[in-house]
Amino acid sequence: MRFCVLTISDRSARGEREDSSGPALIEMITGKGWELVEHALLPDEVEQIEAQLMNWCDSKITDIILTTGGTGFSPRDRTPEATLAVLDRPAPGLAEAMRLASLRVTPHAMLSRAICGIRKSTLIINLPGSTRAARENFSVVLPVLEHAVQLMQEDPSSETGHSFQTPFPSV
């Protein structure tokens, strides 16, 4: 699978703080043997975020875009709004699963405004800016990403042999 990682942080964009969540996600991606196509760092500016997301999706260079940062309650946290503006279809189950898993770690997970969705045939996943939280949230969705990409690409084999052990107890 092909990935792009977009770090969204005013302080990192100004050079005041090193980006650690982007490199952590890149390490996880490449550790799985997947391809990192591009990594970019932007300030919390909606128009710039939208433009980067559209560029990557519309050029079809990537299957999945991971954003990190800008998903909280700060007035400058606008990643979900920028993402919503470019989506064709929402994928709320991914964000719901990440929040559910994060709530087992911290009640602050309720403050996440992260969203996920599809533009053309690219999946966009908003992740927190904290390195630890970005890793934890990405780990939650990892088991379904290959199948999601198969479905978006209309792979004929996407409906065969994809059973696995559920991480959630039966109701």
Q: Report pLDDT for 13.
A: 96
Tell me, yes or no, whether 171 lies in a domain.
Answer: no
Within a domain: 169: no
pLDDT, residue 90, reads 98
pLDDT of residue 168: 56
Is the pTM higher than 0.75? The answer reads: yes
pLDDT attached to residue 171: 41
Q: At what angle are helices 79-86 and 46-58 packed, to 10 degrees?
A: 40
pLDDT at 155: 87
Q: Is the residue at 137 inside a domain?
A: yes
The whole-number pLDDT of residue 165 equals: 60
Q: What is the mean pLDDT of each run of 10 residues along the chain (171 residues)?
A: 98 96 98 98 98 98 98 97 98 98 96 98 98 98 98 85 56 41
* Owning domain of residue 31: 2-155
In a domain, 141, yes or no: yes
> Which helix (H) or strand (E) covers residue 36, if one does?
strand 35-42
Q: What is the CATH number of the domain that holds 121?
A: 3.40.980.10
Number of domains in the chain: 1
Residue 109: the pLDDT is: 96
Residue 128, domain member (yes or no): yes
**167, part of any domain:** no
HSE-up (13 A, CA, CB side) for residue 151: 11
Domain presence at residue 162: no
In a domain, 165, yes or no: no
Q: What are the backbone dihedrals phi and psi of residue 60, each rounded to the nearest 5 degrees, phi first?
A: 60, 30
Q: What separation in angstroms does the CA of 82 have from each of 23, 58, 132, 153?
A: 22, 15, 23, 24
